């Protein structure tokens, strides 16, 4: 089987090579992050300076506002978090870390990106049709979303729904590839418990996705029929029940956040072992607790519906399961802390982002405990406390974890490291403003500020002294944080030319992806694919003269 | 080898015949007795046979049965999680209607099919529609 | 230009079949989600029993029989291709399956036409909304499966991609199984 030099079309237009498919996902995700960030900028400017013209946009009308908050959420979850964490690193890293030459179904892989690309186009198109983009929140609850006379976006709502449905199909297709490749195409000698945690996590996330998204696909079809044909699956006047849609949505929606979290936990495991030169503490425990998190995540969904009118007895049950799910997560967290303890820590950029993720996610997770209690939720539902909670969980998972993984594997993908000084400025310029955005939102939430409100000047209780100042402070911090992201863009692009040349293994890491050249050629490992002789985290092994033993180096006789 | 091949084929045909018989039995018995447990137990057994012999799960690794069962359990979990809300009208702030779309109701009001009364005439009381044909009536509370 | 990865099998299950065993649970939760919704509504609306009597039990039963038989045909095709190496016979059995699929869709089209002309449209009642959406999605899967088998048949006739007969067969059996449940659910227990 000849590995020829790839043509332009085979690299950038219609790639079959998993690395280039992964890069397509990555560029799309980074672009969409800019779009989603711009939307956040616009709606926060409206909240901080109500009614005033926003630079680079103009006046944000109520309909604009609704469309911005809806699409900000939709884009960040479906077009940034999933493509960046799962599709990019799943595609690029799985064959490299398990030691094979490509995914098992390259054409299916290419197809998955093509479907994803179409979904992105449909989403953008939905903004330009008469009526404008959908503004019924990323949760798209009916009857608002089911009837054009309520949503006021007859075309936009269906196109938005179609875009999300296509994105789901793209990930189902891609997911089959990830699972089959991991299960079947592993290097000889790589048993299940020799698989790096990052790969485990991407696969567990994929399984969770495939099990939980089905009912939402059914719900989306029913909602689409309600919108376009006038059926009444979810419209009470025709015999439907809106709460049914909520169940279908959150049955997927809750596992979705763990689908976003788990890959980042995996990347962080790779990074903390490499940069503390220490074996992962409790590898098996981490794997088993991730299974537990996955299974439990499928029985907590109605905590998003505590106030929706569900049966209070069910609210009790879901409260209990929600509190229980913090246990396996806490165990995983402690295992990571134990890995760091006593290690010889090097604060390279990937490690800085990984530690930042752990600390910020801790805050997010702890605030989730408050929200998991159905009684507290009576006060907190639809409140910016909830917004701050999920940004303290999702943003570290998506962006801090995403940056950690990008800084860590950039040398492998592009052959050079990113610039260190610029990277450190970007790091602090992101982490500090991030906290300045969301701590005010916790405080305002406790004071009773609702979310999804266009103009707080209409609510005297929420215009008490200091409140608007907090909003302005949060918005200004957002602007600052967004400005610092230009540094990342600069670093990403210029690193390919100016960065320090990385050899095969710039971080002295043990896993298989560091055994091939940087960047890897088509076919990854050349004529002979690697064989595995040990587990993935053999650092600082007593009696060894080097402080790491790569997986593919045979044991000395 | 000839024997083994025809054994393979003939056992396939036997299983097919068994499934067809079970289908017919299901229809006849269900219609006669109206027992729901029969209506669904027979297809479940048919599914098991089809999975085992048609899809060769009897010789496949056991984990595949586990994955199939897990997906069914997930759906069962969804059903039981949703049921208390959907099956209960207490606490809803809306009136659920009996979902006759106005256009269709007009179409059938007084419409005869060659001498027979409209199919909905005798359904109206079963469906909770009052004599005026109003679309929305309060549900059972 | 198949990657080496595609022929590896650390699990012992060939890659293609492993992929099918992942596709099917995904499909089960999609159909299962729709049917769970139907069930939950059905318990809440016992008057739907009256609606379902307007469904054509004979057509539904005929369709169940057609699909069961077509499952047999694709298995015979697999047997012919894999064990007997008789690719012409495999080709014929695969087309027998496809024709059964066409038959299924024709019967469904007849049913739909009749029901719509009587005024039982998709918006008549939520029962009918479920009936049309569930059976149409199922019919779309029958169509897709039939198309895949039809396209594959030409390669199989030349002795290529023989392992894929089993894979399309597994998909086809799944589609058959969905009807084995959907038919009693809508037509009998309805």
DSSP structure class, residue B95: P
- Judging by beta carbons within 10 Å of its beta carbon (0-12, 13-18, 19+), is residue C113 exposed, middle or buried? exposed
The end-to-end CA distance of chain A, in Å, is 33
Which of B43, B78, B100 shows the shortest C-beta gap to C33? B78
| Domain spans of chain C, in order of start | 4-188
Q: How far is A487 from chain C (nearest CA, A)?
A: 38
Whether pLDDT at B137 is above 70: no
Q: Select the residue from B75, B100, B102, B137 to test the C interface by mutation, using most C Cβ atoms within 10 A.
A: B75
Contact flag B55-C170 (C-beta cutoff 8 Å)? yes
Spatial CA neighbour of A516 closest among A418, A411, A404, A419: A411
Lowest-confidence segment of A170-179, A253-262, B30-39 by average pLDDT: B30-39
Tell whether pTM > 0.90.
Answer: yes
- What is the interface size between A and C, counted as CB pairs within 8 Å? 132
- Chains touching chain A through at least 3 C-beta pairs below 8 angstroms are B, C
How many whole angstroms separate alpha carbon A44 and alpha carbon A478?
8
From residue A417, alpha-carbon distances to A398, A496, A504, C78 in Å are 21, 8, 12, 53
Whether pLDDT at A25 is above 70: yes
Instruction: Write down the architecture of domain C4-188 according to CATH.
Output: Up-down Bundle (1.20)
Whether pLDDT at A382 is above 80: yes
Q: How far is C50 from chain A (nearest CA, A)?
A: 16
pLDDT at A8: 86
Q: pLDDT averaged over chain B?
A: 72
Whether pLDDT at B104 is above 80: no
* Chain C touched by B36 (CB under 8 Å): yes
* Chain B touched by A268 (CB under 8 Å): no
Contact flag C37-A248 (C-beta cutoff 8 Å)? yes
Q: Whats the size of chain B, residue-wise?
A: 141
Whether pLDDT at A294 is above 80: yes
pLDDT at C147: 96
Whether pLDDT at B126 is above 80: no
Confidence of residue A3 (pLDDT cuts 50, 70, 90): low
Residues A155/A130, Cβ–Cβ less than 8 Å: yes
pLDDT at B2: 39
Q: Please give the average per-residue pLDDT across A356-378, as a whole number.
A: 93
Q: Please give the average per-residue pLDDT across A240-260, as a whole number.
A: 95
pLDDT at B124: 53
* Chain B touched by A238 (CB under 8 Å): yes
How many whole angstroms separate alpha carbon C126 and alpha carbon C77?
41
Q: How far is C153 from chain A (nearest CA, A)?
A: 20
B88: chain A residues, CB-CB within 8 Å = 311
Whether pLDDT at A391 is above 90: yes
A244: chain B residues, CB-CB within 8 Å = 82, 85-86
Q: Select the residue from A144, A219, A238 to test the B interface by mutation, using most B Cβ atoms within 10 A.
A: A238
Confidence of residue A32 (pLDDT cuts 50, 70, 90): very high
Which residue in C has a C-alpha nearest to residue B77's C-alpha?
A: C36
Which residue in C has a C-alpha nearest to residue B103's C-alpha?
A: C124
Enter the ipTM.
0.94
What percent of chain A has a predicted confidence (pLDDT) above 90? 85
Contact flag C22-A248 (C-beta cutoff 8 Å)? no
Domains and CATH numbers, chain A: 20-515 (1.20.210.10)
Spatial CA neighbour of A71 closest among A45, A46, A36, A42: A36
Per-residue pLDDT of A270-291, as tens digits, reads: 999 999 999 999 999 999 999 9
Q: How many helices (H) and strands (E) does chain B have?
A: 5, 0
pLDDT at B96: 60
**DSSP 3-state percent helix, strand, coil across chain C (nearest 5):** 80, 0, 20
* Chain B touched by C39 (CB under 8 Å): yes
Whether pLDDT at B114 is above 90: no
Residues forming a β-bridge with A53: A59
Question: Token pair of A93, please?
Answer: 């890293």
Residues C29/A213, Cβ–Cβ less than 8 Å: yes
Q: Please give the average per-residue pLDDT across A537-543, as a whole number.
A: 89
Contact flag A211-C25 (C-beta cutoff 8 Å)? yes
pLDDT at A173: 94
Per-residue pLDDT of C40-94, as tens digits, reads: 988 888 778 878 888 999 999 999 999 999 999 999 999 999 888 888 999 999 9
Q: pLDDT averaged over chain A?
A: 93
pLDDT at B91: 64
DSSP structure class, residue A58: E
Which of B77, B81, B99 shows the shortest C-beta gap to A239? B99
Question: Token pair of B104, please?
Answer: 């269709």
| Location of structure tokens 């089960």 | C28
A247: chain B residues, CB-CB within 8 Å = 78, 81-82, 85-86
Q: Select the residue from A172, A241, A245 to test the B interface by mutation, using most B Cβ atoms within 10 A.
A: A241
Residues C180/B26, Cβ–Cβ less than 8 Å: no
- Contact residues, C window 40-69, toward B, CB-based 8 Å cutoff: 40-41, 43-44, 47, 50, 54, 57, 61, 64-65, 68-69
Spatial CA neighbour of A254 closest among A305, A217, A291, A290: A305
Contact flag C126-B61 (C-beta cutoff 8 Å)? no
Q: How far is B130 from chain A (nearest CA, A)?
A: 16
pLDDT at A244: 94
Which residue in C has a C-alpha nearest to residue A240's C-alpha?
A: C126
Question: Token pair of A112, please?
Answer: 């998955």
Confidence of residue B93 (pLDDT cuts 50, 70, 90): low
Range C146-155, long-range pairs (CB < 8 A, 24+ positions): C146/C97, C146/C98, C146/C101, C146/C102, C149/C74, C149/C94, C149/C97, C149/C98, C149/C101, C150/C94, C150/C95, C150/C98, C152/C94, C153/C90, C153/C91, C153/C94, C153/C95, C153/C98, C154/C91
Q: Please give the average per-residue pLDDT across B79-85, as a whole number.
A: 90
Residues C108/C101, Cβ–Cβ less than 8 Å: no
Confidence of residue B141 (pLDDT cuts 50, 70, 90): very low
Which residue in C has a C-alpha nearest to residue B47's C-alpha?
A: C177
Residues A244/A179, Cβ–Cβ less than 8 Å: no
How many whole angstroms separate alpha carbon C96 and alpha carbon C182?
23
A244: chain C residues, CB-CB within 8 Å = 37, 40-41
Whether pLDDT at C118 is above 90: no
Q: How far is A452 from chain C (nearest CA, A)?
A: 29
Contact flag B96-A212 (C-beta cutoff 8 Å)? no
- Contact residues, B window 45-104, toward C, CB-based 8 Å cutoff: 46-47, 50-51, 54-56, 60-61, 64, 67-68, 70-72, 74-75, 78-79, 82-83, 86-87, 98-101, 104
How many whole angstroms separate alpha carbon A194 and alpha carbon A209?
24
What percent of chain A has a predicted confidence (pLDDT) above 70? 99
Whether pLDDT at C19 is above 90: yes
C9: chain A residues, CB-CB within 8 Å = 184
- Contact residues, C window 126-185, toward A, CB-based 8 Å cutoff: 126, 129-130, 133, 137
Q: Select the residue from B80, B84, B90 to test the A interface by mutation, using most A Cβ atoms within 10 A.
A: B84
Question: Token pair of A291, please?
Answer: 């299974």
Residues contacting C120, CB < 8 A, separation 6+: C51, C54, C128
Residues B41/B61, Cβ–Cβ less than 8 Å: no
Per-residue pLDDT of A67-98, as tens digits, reads: 999 999 999 999 999 999 999 999 999 999 99
Q: How far is C142 from chain B (nearest CA, A)?
A: 17
Range A372-377, long-range pairs (CB < 8 A, 24+ positions): A372/A303, A372/A319, A372/A322, A372/A323, A372/A326, A373/A319, A373/A323, A374/A303, A374/A306, A374/A312, A374/A315, A374/A316, A374/A318, A374/A319, A377/A303, A377/A306, A377/A307
pLDDT at B130: 45
Q: How far is A498 from chain C (nearest CA, A)?
A: 34
Total Cβ atoms within 10 A of residue A342: 11
Per-residue pLDDT of A396-416, as tens digits, reads: 999 999 999 999 999 999 999
Contact flag C65-B31 (C-beta cutoff 8 Å)? no
Residues contacting A432, CB < 8 A, separation 6+: none
């Amino acid at each position: 089987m000849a590995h020829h030099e790839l043509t332009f079309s085979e690299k950038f237009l219609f790639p079959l090579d998993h690395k280039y498919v992964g890069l397509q996902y990555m560029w799309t995700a980074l672009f969409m992050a800019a779009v989603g960030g711009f939307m956040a900028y616009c709606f926060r400017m409206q909240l901080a300076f109500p009614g005033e013209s926003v630079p680079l946009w103009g006046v944000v009308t109520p309909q604009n506002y609704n469309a911005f908050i809806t699409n900000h959420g939709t884009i960040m979850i479906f077009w940034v978090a999933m493509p960046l964490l799962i599709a990019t690193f799943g595609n690029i890293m799985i064959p490299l870390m398990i030691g094979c030459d490509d995914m098992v179904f390259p054409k299916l892989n290419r197809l998955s990106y093509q479907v994803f690309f179409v979904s992105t186009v449909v989403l953008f198109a939905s903004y330009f049709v008469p009526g404008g983009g959908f503004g019924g929140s990323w949760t798209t609850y009916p009857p608002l979303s089911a009837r054009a006379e309520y949503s006021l976006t007859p075309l936009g709502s269906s196109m938005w729904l179609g875009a999300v449905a296509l994105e789901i199909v793209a990930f189902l297709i891609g997911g089959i590839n990830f699972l089959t490749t991991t299960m079947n195409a592993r290097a000889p000698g790589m048993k299940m418990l020799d698989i790096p945690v990052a790969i485990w996590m991407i696969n567990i996330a994929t399984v969770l996705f495939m099990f939980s998204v089905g009912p939402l696909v059914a719900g989306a079809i029913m909602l689409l029929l309600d919108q376009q044909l006038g059926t009444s699956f979810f419209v009470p006047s025709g015999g439907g029940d809106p709460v049914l849609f909520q169940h279908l949505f959150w049955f997927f929606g809750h596992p979705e956040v763990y689908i976003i979290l788990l890959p980042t936990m995996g990347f962080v495991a790779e990074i903390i072992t490499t940069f503390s030169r220490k074996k992962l503490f409790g590898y098996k425990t981490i794997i088993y607790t991730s299974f537990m998190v996955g299974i439990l995540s499928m029985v907590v969904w109605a905590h998003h519906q505590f106030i929706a009118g569900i049966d209070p007895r069910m609210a009790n049950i879901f409260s209990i399961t929600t509190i229980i799910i913090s246990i396996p997560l806490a165990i995983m967290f402690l295992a990571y802390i134990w890995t760091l303890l006593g290690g010889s820590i090097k604060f390279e950029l990937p490690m800085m982002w990984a530690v930042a993720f752990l600390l910020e996610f801790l805050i997010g997770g702890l605030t989730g405990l408050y929200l998991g209690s159905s009684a507290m939720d009576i006060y907190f539902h639809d409140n910016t406390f909830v917004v701050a909670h999920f940004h303290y969980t999702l943003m570290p998972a998506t962006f801090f974890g995403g940056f950690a993984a990008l800084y860590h594997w950039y040398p492998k993908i592009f052959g050079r490291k990113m610039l260190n000084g610029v990277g450190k400025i970007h790091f602090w310029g992101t982490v500090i403003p991030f906290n300045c955005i969301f701590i005010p939102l916790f405080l305002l939430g406790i004071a009773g500020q609702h979310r999804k409100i266009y103009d707080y000047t209409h609510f005297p209780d929420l215009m008490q002294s200091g409140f608007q100042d907090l909003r302005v402070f949060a918005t200004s911090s957002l602007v600052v944080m967004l400005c610092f992201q230009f540094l990342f863009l600069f670093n990403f692009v210029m690193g390919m030319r100016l960065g320090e040349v990385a050899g095969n293994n710039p971080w002295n890491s043990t896993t298989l992806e560091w055994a091939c050249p940087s960047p890897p050629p088509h076919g990854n490992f050349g004529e002979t694919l690697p064989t595995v002789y040990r587990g993935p985290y053999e650092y600082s092994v007593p009696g060894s003269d080097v402080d790491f033993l790569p997986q593919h180096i045979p044991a000395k006789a | 080898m000839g024997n083994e091949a025809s054994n393979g084929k003939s056992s396939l045909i036997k299983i097919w015949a068994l499934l067809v018989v079970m289908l017919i039995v299901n229809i006849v018995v269900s219609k006669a007795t109206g027992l729901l447990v029969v209506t669904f137990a027979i297809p479940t057994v048919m599914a098991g046979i089809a999975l085992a012999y048609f899809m060769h799960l009897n010789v496949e690794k056991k984990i595949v049965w586990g994955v199939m069962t897990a997906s069914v359990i997930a759906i069962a979990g969804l059903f039981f999680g949703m049921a208390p809300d959907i099956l209960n009208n207490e606490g809803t702030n809306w009136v659920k209607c009996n979902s006759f779309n106005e256009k269709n109701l007009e179409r059938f009001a007084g419409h005869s099919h060659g001498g027979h009364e409209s199919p909905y005439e005798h359904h109206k009381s079963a469906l909770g529609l009052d004599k005026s044909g109003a679309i929305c009536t309060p549900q059972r509370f | 230009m198949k990657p080496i990865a595609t022929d590896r099998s650390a699990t012992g299950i060939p890659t293609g079949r492993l992929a099918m065993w992942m596709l099917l649970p995904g499909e089960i939760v999609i159909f299962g989600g729709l049917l769970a919704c139907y069930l939950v509504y059905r318990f809440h609306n016992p008057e739907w029993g009256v609606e379902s009597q307007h469904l054509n039990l004979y057509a539904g039963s005929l369709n169940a029989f057609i699909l069961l038989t077509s499952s047999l045909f694709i298995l015979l095709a697999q047997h012919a291709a894999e064990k007997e190496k008789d690719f012409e016979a495999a080709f014929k059995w695969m087309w027998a399956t496809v024709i059964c699929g066409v038959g299924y869709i024709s019967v469904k089209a007849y049913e739909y036409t009749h029901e719509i002309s009587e005024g039982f449209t998709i918006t008549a009642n939520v029962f009918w909304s479920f009936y049309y959406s569930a059976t149409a999605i199922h019919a779309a899967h029958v169509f897709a499966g039939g198309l895949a088998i039809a396209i594959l048949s030409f390669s199989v006739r030349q002795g290529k991609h023989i392992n894929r007969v089993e894979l399309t067969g597994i998909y086809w059996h799944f589609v058959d199984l969905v009807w084995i449940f959907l038919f009693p659910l809508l037509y009998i227990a309805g």
